[in-house]
Amino acid sequence: MGTAGYGISRKVDLTVEEAEARIRATLAERGFGILTEIDVKNTIKNKLGIEIKPYKILGACKPQLAHKALSAETEIGLLLPCNVIVYEDADGNTRIAVQNPEKALELVGNPGVNEVAAEAKKGLVDALEAV
């Protein structure tokens, strides 16, 4: 697994479509739903006429954690949901990456939010490792 500080990524021996299906399933097993979905490849093609490799952004949310975070910090919604990406890298490999909620939410400086971030990170990393 790789880390970029703000995310944790993993190369998988699956097609992008298979990887997306697997990460959706492993997230669901851990109580996360997908609230948003952005097909970046299609958006870039439709808006700019440029072909890029497959790249999808999934906005993952676990309602219990979102509720805790909102209870601790009303404007935390600016930093939610946790993003998960599935894409084909420059070498043609399929990669999945999950946001590191601890890094994303540390700027808030609220201990209640920090606890939620740690729990969210555990669930996201567990889901990534299970793919």
Over residues 84-102, the mean pLDDT reads 96
Of all residues in the chain, the percent with pLDDT exceeding 70 is 97
| Predicted confidence (pLDDT) per residue in 12-49, tens digit | 999 999 999 999 999 999 999 999 999 999 999 999 99
Of all residues in the chain, the percent with pLDDT exceeding 90 is 89
Q: Distance (Å, rounded) from C-alpha 73 to C-alpha 32? A: 20
Q: What is the pTM of this model?
A: 0.92
Q: Distance (Å, rounded) from C-alpha 113 to C-alpha 121? A: 12
Q: Distance (Å, rounded) from C-alpha 49 to C-alpha 15? A: 24
In order of start, what are the domains of the chain with their CATH numbers? 2-130 (3.30.310.70)
The answer for 49, left when phi > 0, alpha when psi is -120 to 50, beta otherwise, is left
